[in-house]
Structure 1
Amino acid sequence: MIQKLKIFLKDLKKNQIAIRNGQQQIWASQKLQTLFKNEVFIPQTSWSLEPETILHILNIISIKKPKNIIEFGGGVTTLYIAKLLKLQNYKTNFISVESDVDWMLTLKNQLCDNDLISFVSQIHAPIETIDSKYSYKNQQTWYSTAAIEEGIKDISHFDLVIVDGPFGGSTPYARFSAMPFLTDYTSIKTTWLLDDTNREYEKEIIREWTEFSKLSCRIFKRYSVLEKNSEFDLSSLKI
């Protein structure tokens, strides 16, 4: 009887956590929707960042006003960032790196339809074999570094780096290379966000990045943020 009660209470706690998380995502979705008119449909799939994660990114941009932003893996976040930059009239260079040319064109059409294309510079960087100086353990591939270097040649420092690509199944530790590749373009003032740190490879990546960068790491349910220890927590409001 006692064992059954323990199991019941454990399941109840799990359900309560799931309900709270669901409520949090609904609240974040409603907050994000205020950026667009009701007739605009923003596609979100299982590949997309969660609404709460996107809201955290927008909080960082709104409060810290980064001059240069780069994201690896374009998608719904690209649209929301571009919309915020337009609404706030920020003079920000926003670069979106994408490996899939068809998806990049789809995203470009979405940006054009919403009059946001001028707020994003897209870089098509195919997945290719990565130089060992940027790889980790048995990682084999990453984005084309030549394509990215050409696209960011006029930028000396990134204030915000968002890593939601490449596709995690493309190679072990698929997203590791972002930090070593951007070493000369970032500093202790840079904020990093890595999505999917609830997965084993990404858990190890964020540990390695934390050790390498000496930045403070905040781990959330599905993503992690690296920044100076003195920075305020800019994650979305908890309801």
Structure 2
Amino acid sequence: MRTPPPRLLLAASAAVAGTAVLALVPLSASGLLEPLQAVQLAVSIVTLALAAVLVLYVRRTDGKAQRVDNRVKRQEAALSRAGSDLARVAAALDGLAARLDENARGHVREVLTVLGEDRMELAAQSDRLAELAAAVSGLDTAGREIRTGLATLTSATRQNYSQLEALVDVRSLLQPRAPLPPLRGWAASPDVLRLLIERIATTHPKTILECGSGSSTIWLAYAAQRFAGNHVIALEHDERFAEATQALILAHGLQDVAEVRLAPLTDWHPAADPDEESIPWYATRALSDLPEIGLVFVDGPPGATAPAVRYPAVPALLPYCSADAWIVLDDADRPAEKAIVERWLAEYPELTAVSHKAEKGAVVLRRGH
């Protein structure tokens, strides 16, 4: 049974005590009770009322305390159950965390494995790309080399055709009677020979002088024999070459129009400045009885003898040349020969130079324009 609230108990006790006290007043007034007895009885009634109220209050307090205790116990039980549940949840979470960690580690290992394989594959691809790049670079280099080779081959083919065309021209014109040694290389090329033979056929020079001897001497001799009986003189510093060329002249029956003069190389000094550094050139005694020269072919001495080894040709031979003579310099594309031509033009203002397209370059010098 639920105990009434303290205020209600106090009010009820006060009402009962008040009622009892009020009931004692008439009794005391009627003489049924002595006043002292009435007061004592009233005090007792009030005391009893207060005691009842106190008892009831204590009971109420005890009930409330009991209820609080029960509630606490229930809450403790609930907390215990909640703690057990939390422990189970924590254990479950720990297990889950462990499984997740293991799974994560497994996935990480798998990912690292895959990444490692990918890195290996990427490295392999990178190596293949490097090989392909090297191959492409090699192909590009090879392509450039091929293009350069094709350009060189094209130029060589054109040059070969040009020389073959010139050779056919001079052979058909002169019709040699015996085999001839090859042209080009150390020997003169067909294109410069055609230039010389055209000059012989056009101007009929009395004397044709060649610095050096060999195949070109025979061709010039055929031209001299064919056109107006001109005469060819070849200066040669090497006795073996002189003998070989003379034998060719005899083999082709050209001894009436051609001769080889042995002229060893000696130190040559310009007459205007004897103190100038000497240059090796043909011995000038071979020039003592030269008739008027209408054409000079400067194809010797060999360029390897000295840097300006062909320079003396103009100062030594120009006094023997006719007014309309040509001086033709072979190998004119070489730096040494270019320097020689510049020096000739600077020292002999009366000379003019015309370059002709030839395999090894050719320059024609003559007086006037």
Q: 1:160 aligns with which of 295, 299, 306?
A: 295
Contact 2:294 2:326 in 1 (8 A): yes
The whole-number CA distance in structure 2 between the counterparts of 1:60 and 1:173 is 27
1:65 is matched with: 204
1:179 is matched with: 314
User: Which secondary structure state, in structure 1, belongs to the residue aligned with residue 324 of structure 2?
Assistant: coil
The whole-number CA distance in structure 2 between the counterparts of 1:47 and 1:165 is 10
- Which residues in structure 2 correspond to 1:40-189 (within 5 Å)? 40-44=178-182, 46-88=185-227, 90-133=228-271, 140-149=279-288, 151-152=289-290, 155=291, 157-186=292-321, 188-189=323-324
The whole-number CA distance in structure 2 between the counterparts of 1:108 and 1:134 is 35
Q: 1:216 aligns with which of 345, 353, 358?
A: 353
User: Which secondary structure state, in structure 2, belongs to the residue aligned with residue 159 of structure 1?
Assistant: strand
More helix by share: 2
Contact 2:245 2:260 in 1 (8 A): no
- Structure 2 segments unaligned to the other structure (5+ residues): 1-135
- Structure 1 segments unaligned to the other structure (5+ residues): 231-239
- Tell me the TM-score normalised to structure 1 length: 0.81
Contact 2:210 2:234 in 1 (8 A): yes
Return the offset for 1:101. 1.4
Return the offset for 1:100. 1.1
1:191 is matched with: 326
The whole-number CA distance in structure 2 between the counterparts of 1:188 and 1:10 is 47
Identity of aligned residues (%): 23
The whole-number CA distance in structure 1 between the counterparts of 2:247 and 2:272 is 33
Higher-RCO chain (CA-CA 8 Å, sequence separation at least 6): 1
1:157-180 deviations in Å (ceiling 9; x for gaps): 321111000111112211110101
1:116-140 deviations in Å (ceiling 9; x for gaps): 01101321100111124489x8653
Aligned amino acid, residue 65 of structure 1: H
Bigger Rg over Cα: 2
CA distance change for structure 1 residues 139 and 48 in 2, over 3 Å: closer, same or farther? farther
The whole-number CA distance in structure 1 between the counterparts of 2:180 and 2:160 is 19
How many residue pairs get aligned? The number is: 223
The whole-number CA distance in structure 2 between the counterparts of 1:227 and 1:147 is 23
1:175-208 deviations in Å (ceiling 9; x for gaps): 1101011232225522111111121111111222
The whole-number CA distance in structure 2 between the counterparts of 1:187 and 1:61 is 14
Contact 2:167 2:191 in 1 (8 A): yes
Aligned amino acid, residue 283 of structure 2: S
User: Which secondary structure state, in structure 1, belongs to the residue aligned with residue 247 of structure 2?
Assistant: helix
1:102-153 deviations in Å (ceiling 9; x for gaps): 2111111111111101101321100111124489x8653111112332x42x
Return the offset for 1:15. 3.9
- RMSD across aligned positions (CA): 2.8
User: Which secondary structure state, in structure 2, belongs to the residue aligned with residue 182 of structure 1?
Assistant: helix
- Tell me the TM-score normalised to structure 2 length: 0.54
User: Which secondary structure state, in structure 2, belongs to the residue aligned with residue 95 of structure 1?
Assistant: strand
